[in-house]
Amino acid sequence: MAKLAKHWQPFLLRISLLVLPYQPIASLVGLVVLLVTVFWQHGRAIAQLPISRVFLAISLLMILGGFFAYDKPEALLQLANYLPFFGLFVALRWLLTRPRQLEQIAADLVLTAIPLNLIGIVEFALKVLRKLPLSLPDGFQWQLFGWPGPEEPNRVVSLFIHPNFFAGYLILVFGLGLGLVLKISDPPVVQRPGLLPATIAAPTWIMQRKWLIYVGTYLNLAGIFCAGSRNAIAAALLQLLIFSLFLKGRRTLKLIFLAGMLAIAAGVAVYGFGGRQANLESFTSDPRVGVWQIALDLIRQRPWLGWGMGSFKFLYPPRLIDPGYPDIAHPHNFWLLMATESGIPVMLTLTAAIGYFYYRGVRVFISHRLEAAEQAILLGYLLAFGGSIAFSLFDVTLFDARINVLNWLTLAGIALFVRQNDLEYVCKQRLREE
């Protein structure tokens, strides 16, 4: 049974991720099956992991907070955005065992995002046409494709329910794609003294169709621009800037990088952010500052267990900051959301648990102990999760399960490199002792 699971579980994981953007419910069913079978087979070993105990403690605090919540049913229901994904992260530590898997997953996600971006570009074009004298009739495109019209008239959603969810998903995929671009643009690997042989190599079909990876990766920039999210554009530019530090002698990639930066700058200069002009007023009049002040006030009132998951949307209307914003569902900052709804201890513990793996991943990356192939893939996962962190400073997208899955997947990928590095270190120490 264990041998059979070793083959079908990675296959089910890959299929679940391939259909994730298009059939999220089917994908989640597949991931739940994986989670249950992994815990069934390795439950005892999983329970002994320090990180499992940390997540168990966080979960218990969240559940306890739910019983003291402003709205108990809503708070307990909102736990679905957290607890299953803690389990998914731990399960992925068993399912992801080789860096080669991470490369294949990154390639799958980049390629499956191509239709998402093309749909977004078509939607953007239709929204621009709607403003022209010979445009399509009002409401035509919305009735035909089911896209929201009046709420976000100048921003696109593709197959998501909100432009920010679309942009948040693309930020993750864009980071993974940059790692792949760096990987496939490398010259043939020359073994360096003192390092283990490279453990991953690009699948043949990827090497034969490099242009698909290039196109798929940089289409995400177009999708992010069309979504009109200011913080997503800023996060993408940050990813590009960090990526540019590792281009070395790759002249073609430098030109592509420069073209991408200029294209975004030109697009923002002409069209703004989703139709909002790029000027100082668009930032100073942003309601986020007022919302953050409300969140800080709520944290001061209940610092330990918070107000309960999903409570902010009920607590905001009596504290209305602007009649133009009668309903705001969250404080537009992940850490303020966690502290407001779960309490400061949960926020700090969860941040420390996630930050530990990210910090260790960065340490592995800058140690230069990896071969160039693995170095590039690790950079992609660091850029993806780092971009999501930057995005979370000004928005919260964990309410979309697709983004939640990718967040925990990329963190699990970083954890794989950390674990591999630790195993290599232990092996070398034992060899020295012998």
* 134 three-state secondary structure: coil
- pLDDT value at position 188? 44
The number of helices, as runs of H, and strands, as runs of E, in the chain is 19, 0
Residue 97 · residue 416 · CB < 8 Å: yes
DSSP 8-state secondary structure symbol assigned to residue 307: S
C-alpha 123/C-alpha 399 separation (Å) is 23
C-alpha 419/C-alpha 425 separation (Å) is 10
Q: Rounded to whole angstroms, what are the CA distances from 337 to 291, 344, 407? A: 11, 10, 17
What values do phi and psi take at 276, rounded to 5? -85, 125
Closest to 334 measured CA to CA, from 403, 278, 285: 403
- pLDDT value at position 197? 42
C-alpha 127/C-alpha 124 separation (Å) is 5
Could you report the average pLDDT of every consecutive run of 10 residues in the chain (434 residues)? 66 95 96 94 90 96 94 94 96 90 96 95 82 50 49 79 94 96 70 44 58 93 92 93 86 81 81 67 73 96 95 91 82 96 97 97 91 94 97 93 97 95 60 48
* 114 three-state secondary structure: helix
- pLDDT value at position 262? 85
Closest to 13 measured CA to CA, from 95, 104, 90, 81: 95
HSE value, Cβ hemisphere, 13 Å, CA-based, for 264: 25
The single residue listed with the structure tokens 């696109």 is: 156
C-alpha 192/C-alpha 419 separation (Å) is 22
Please, is 43 exposed, middle or buried when counting C-beta atoms within 10 Å of its C-beta (0-12, 13-18, 19+)? exposed
Instruction: Answer whether 0.75 is exceeded by the pTM.
Output: yes
C-alpha 333/C-alpha 130 separation (Å) is 33
Residue 119 · residue 21 · CB < 8 Å: no
- Structural domain boundaries in the chain: 2-285+323-433
- pLDDT value at position 192? 45
